[in-house]
Amino acid sequence: MAAGFWKRLRSKSEDSQAPVATTSRWRRASRRRTRTDATIPAEVLQKVRRLEIQMKHLVNDIFSGEYHSVFKGRGMEFAEVREYAPGDDIRSIDWNVTARLGSPYIKKYTEERELTVMLAVDLSASGIFGSGQQLKRDLATEVCSILAFSAVRNNDKVGCVLFTDDVELFVPPQKGRQHALRVIRDLLYFEPEGRGTDLGSALQFVAQVLKRKAVVFLVSDFLDPGFETPLSVVSRRHDVVPITISDAREEQLPDVDLVELRDAETGERMIIDTSNREVRERFQRRARRVQQWRDRIFKRHSLDVIDLRTDASYVLPLMTFFRRRARRY
């Protein structure tokens, strides 16, 4: 995995503009539709239902309040005019109504709550890996399920962009439980055509299809260089939250003698001697440099990051993220 990353890193500058995806390609992605329920295996539908039941407790009891307090609406909208009462803010007085009725009246506003949540999820072949209890793609699906149900519970719209080295599927944002289940079904069932990763192209697509400010959860292992410029463009207009998915074996090799490694995206193979301490340490240093490079990009653009691992619970990192953000409001 690391060898393939560094090969790609040499071919792309980290701050270079990612290749622009053609409009026709994006149009093809937006026209794609998922298969009808009649063609989806019963076990997939059962898995969607099990996932909904599993996430219900987390959404209702843990994340719902935090989600509402952290992700604000687009602003305030006028609700009504009522008579002034002692203690009201005099800056809210409606002087036109006050002059007409002869006594002070104030304007009342309510938060314009509706948000658009976009799940931009990396389905490249590197996600079909996991040395623990689950694959990286499975972890991404569970976390996206929590976010989708939290959005629906707060009457927000949710949509998704599934991508590899191309935008594979675009589901426009909508409200409602059935729509959230459709998004989750796609995450579980959709089989991408590509194996590689092009984060830059996916971000450009998101910038094109989202006309109003949205919360964009960018879910990936971020093993693709060259996405900083598109990330900068999208984060200026939208609230971008990177969610990194990693596995322990991508950071540290076990001592198990000779091992053949294959990059899942490029197919590149190499045989290494893991009994050699220097080899293991070199692998670990490379992995650490990749993480530091990625974290510098996020810090440069002042993005809040959720770091998840396949060998640990995602509940604590999500709660930490919500609480860290809540302190700002």
107 and 159 both lie in a single domain: no
205 and 98 both lie in a single domain: no
Looking at residue 24, what is its pLDDT? Answer: 43
- Average pLDDT of the chain, as a whole number: 81
214 and 100 both lie in a single domain: no
16 and 55 both lie in a single domain: yes
93 and 62 both lie in a single domain: no
Is the pLDDT at 31 greater than 70, yes or no?
no
Tally of domains in the chain: 2
Domain hosting 98: range is 75-112
47 and 182 both lie in a single domain: yes
> What does the alpha-carbon distance between residue 193 and residue 158 come to, in Å, rounded to a whole number?
24
85 and 207 both lie in a single domain: no
Give the CA diameter of the chain: 89
Mean pLDDT of all residues in 86-93: 81
119 and 64 both lie in a single domain: yes
Asked if 18 and 229 touch (Cβ cutoff 8 Å), the reply is yes
CA dihedral 318, 321, 327, 329 (to 10 degrees): -90
Q: Could you report the per-residue pLDDT of 180-223, keeping only the tens digit for each?
A: 999 999 998 899 999 999 999 999 999 999 988 999 999 999 98
Looking at residue 292, what is its pLDDT? Answer: 94
257 and 201 both lie in a single domain: yes
185 and 232 both lie in a single domain: yes
Q: Locate the DSSP E strands across 154-212.
A: 157-163, 167-174
Is the pLDDT at 323 greater than 90, yes or no?
no
| Tokens representing residue 136 in the block | 């990286």
131 and 218 both lie in a single domain: yes
Q: Locate the DSSP E strands across 167-315.
A: 167-174, 215-220, 239-246, 258-262, 269-273, 306-309
Task: Please report how many Cα atoms fall inside a 13 Å half-sphere around the Cα of residue 77, on the Cβ side.
Answer: 6
Nearest C-alpha neighbor of 63 from the set 157, 142, 168:
142
Q: pTM for the whole thing? A: 0.76
Looking at residue 124, what is its pLDDT? Answer: 95
The one-letter code for the residue type at 317 is P
197 and 271 both lie in a single domain: yes
Q: What is the CATH number of the domain that holds 37?
A: 3.40.50.410
Which of 57, 84, 112 is the C-terminal boundary of a domain?
112
